[in-house]
Amino acid sequence: MVESVWGPPGIPIIGNGFELGRLPTWKLPQWLRKHADVALSEGHNYMKLQLVNKYFLVPLNAEAVKPILDSNTEITKGVDYKFIEPWIGTGLLTSTGTKWKTRRRLLTPTFHFKMLDGYVAIFDRESRRLCKYLEKFDGKEVDLFPIVKNCALDVICESAMGVSVNALETEKNPYVKALLDMGWLLLQWALNPINWFLPFYILSGRSSLYKKVVKELTDFTKNVIAQRKKEFESGNRKKLGNKITFLDLLLEANQENKLSDEDIREEVDTFMFEGHDTTSSGIAWILWSLACHSEIQEKVYEEIKTALDGFDSSTEITVESIKETPYFDSVIKESNRLWAPVPLIQRDLQNDFNTGQYILPAGATILISPIVIQRNPKVWGENYLDFKPERFDSSKEKDYNPFDYIPFSAGPRNCIGQRFALLEEKVMVMHIVKNYRMKATMGFHENEGQTEIVTKPHKGIRVLLEKR
Ligand code: HEM
């Protein structure tokens, strides 16, 4: 049971809460890694963290994480997700049991590779806009992170709902503002337990802000759905090239009575939540890795040039041209290894769970940190902190277990948007590298991953930008 699992020493009753509460969030990955090394060296493949009366059990390697991620029964997410349920409901991300299984089956075809062509056309168009926008920073130092984040938001609004919010050029859109406020509220709630104390939450004004933001976000989606449904029913489906939006696919299921209007709203809002902060974090770290390693950046540039057959400004990036870049694939994988965009994955155990080494009790929370697993020196070597795309050389035999590399999680509840995300990362970075040279203004590891909803670069992505 829990007592037999090793954990970093804490204070009686409070456990590790005091230390963790004071730890800057960008130091959390190293803190976890340091203690994981102690646990592993003493023969444990789990460690426990105690926050007052709550235990978090952290699997430390592939052997420990595989049974839980592979489980078809332990699929219930942690309580932290409850906070966003008034917004995203119990859609694919937060539901469990039969509801989750039915939704997963219904939504899987929306990410079928045939559907991705239409999304890639959006990535291409929005990335071109991004490169145009960046022209004003030519020869200057700029933080690319907020810019990429806005572009990713434009991409997800277009892909999910067929709506343009133009976050890249305007901060005034009320929907964009509400999304930013929601991000802030979620972070405050997750990081600072004082917010869990209802009287404080009400008196600090956060409760009323929360209600206002939820209303703004859900009203927006409801209006888009109502409008689209009218067009859809009149047979006027707005086409994206020859493909349709995610919402249109859901409306088809609606016509077959498989999803109600509210079900559709839940899923669209789930994709809005899951689909832009994650990719902007992924893209940001790839750009950072390239900006810190100029020889790797040039190699990627040359590979893209060949794949796009020389390229001029009108060259469109398509699913076909993306296939021809194996080195760039390795660069993306290595970046997602070192800086997994989703810092923590949770499962709330519904039953006692036998890991082979321990029996973990029902009610405990399994806390999976992809960064901890992906920085295990026993798997990735003593140079695990170095950026080495050759670790993922496709011509070499894989010398790691698939569960040692889990940026998109694994098993039945893995990321349904993985292919969408990787294509978006590729297209956006390809456009930037094709048009600009980036040079970091500080050392690679001076920038750390801040554990927020996503792994955020705590010093931004500050680079000197130079037009090619
Ligand atoms: C770099 C980008 C992304 C990363 C690293 C990422 C990673 C993840 C991870 C770690 C999970 C949790 C799985 C678990 O609990 O075991 C997840 C779930 C999910 N992701 Fe992503 N994600 C990304 C982008 C996206 C995008 C673009 C979409 C949609 C357009 C998306 C939609 C979802 C959904 C709906 C789930 C819940 C799946 C389920 O529970 O069945 N993700 N993602």
Q: Is 271 in the pocket of ligand 1 (CB under 6 A)?
A: yes
Q: Which atom, in ligand 1's list, is nearest to the CA of 283?
A: 1
Percentage of residues in the chain having pLDDT higher than 70: 98
Average pLDDT over residues 322-330: 92
- Closest Cα to atom 27 of ligand 1: 275
Residue 238's pLDDT is what? 54
* Alpha carbon nearest to ligand 1 atom 40, residue: 93
Among protein residues, the one with the nearest Cα to ligand 1's atom 41 is 413
Separation of 418 CA from ligand 1 center, angstroms?
A: 7
User: What's the 3-state SS for the chain?
Assistant: CHHHCCCCCCECCCECHHHHHHCCHHHHHHHHHHHHHHHHHCCCCEEEEEECCEEEEEECCHHHHHHHHHCCCCCCCCHHHHHHHHHHCCCCCCCCHHHHHHHHHHHHHHHCHHHHHHHHHHHHHHHHHHHHHHHHHCCCEEEHHHHHHHHHHHHHHHHHHCCCCCCCCCCCCHHHHHHHHHHHHHHHHHHCHHHHCHHHHHHCCHHHHHHHHHHHHHHHHHHHHHHHHHHHHCCCCCCECCECCHHHHHHHHHHCCCCCHHHHHHHHHHHHHHCCHHHHHHHHHHHHHHHHCHHHHHHHHHHHHHHCCCCCCCCCCCHHHHCCCHHHHHHHHHHHHHCCCCCCEEEECCCCEECCCCEECCCCEEEECHHHHHCCHHHHCCCCCCCCHHHHCCCCCCCCCHHHCCCCCCCCCCCCCHHHHHHHHHHHHHHHHHHEEEEECCCHHHCCEEECCCEEECCCCEEEEEEC
CB distance 121 to ligand 1 below 6 Å: no
Of residues 358 and 384, which shows the higher confidence score? 384
- pLDDT mean over 4-26: 86
Q: What is the structure's pLDDT at 41?
A: 92
270 CB near ligand 1 (under 6 Å): yes
- 78 pLDDT more than 90: no
* Mean pLDDT within 138-164: 92
Q: Is the pLDDT of residue 42 over 80?
A: yes
Dihedral pair phi/psi, residue 169, rounded to 5°: -110, -10
Find out whether the beta carbon of 419 lies less than 6 Å from any atom of ligand 1: no
Q: How remote is the CA of residue 417 from the centroid of ligand 1, in Å?
A: 6
Q: Mean pLDDT of all residues in the chain?
A: 90
Cα of 63 to ligand 1 centre, how many Å?
A: 22
Banded pLDDT at 324 (limits 50, 70, 90): confident
Across residues 333-343, what is the average pLDDT?
Answer: 97
Q: Known binder of ligand: residue 131?
A: no
For residue 161, what are its two tokens? 């709902």
Contact 47, 58 (CB under 8 A): yes
Nearest CA to ligand 1 atom 17: 415
Q: What is the pLDDT of residue 70?
A: 95
Whether ligand 1 lies within 6 angstroms of the CB of 104 is answered as yes
Which residues 6+ apart lie within 8 Å of 208 measured at CB?
202
SS (H, E, C) 273-286: HHCCHHHHHHHHHH
Q: Is 122 in the pocket of ligand 1 (CB under 6 A)?
A: no
Cα–Cα distance measured from residue 431 to residue 286, given in angstroms and rounded to the nearest whole number: 13
ipTM: 0.98
- Which residue from 111, 119, 274 has its CB within 8 A of the most atoms of ligand 1, so it is best to mutate? 274
Mean pLDDT for 361-371 is: 93
% of the chain residues with pLDDT over 90: 60
Candidate ranges 192-196, 218-222, 394-398, 427-431; pick with highest mean pLDDT: 427-431
φ/ψ (deg, to 5) at 436: -135, 150
State whether the beta carbon of 333 lies less than 6 angstroms from ligand 1: no
User: What average pLDDT does range 119-130 have in this prediction?
Assistant: 94
Number of domains the chain is built from: 1
275 lines ligand 1 (CB under 6 A): yes
Confidence band for 136, pLDDT divided at 50, 70 and 90: very high
pLDDT at 240: 44
Predicted confidence band of residue 137 (pLDDT cuts 50, 70, 90)? very high
What is the CATH classification number for the domain harbouring 159?
1.10.630.10
Residue 33's domain comprises 2-467
pLDDT tens for 224-279 read 888 888 877 776 665 544 557 888 888 888 877 788 889 999 999 999 889 889 99
**Distance from Cα 342 to the centre of ligand 1, integer Å:** 8
Nearest ligand 1 atom to alpha carbon 406: 10
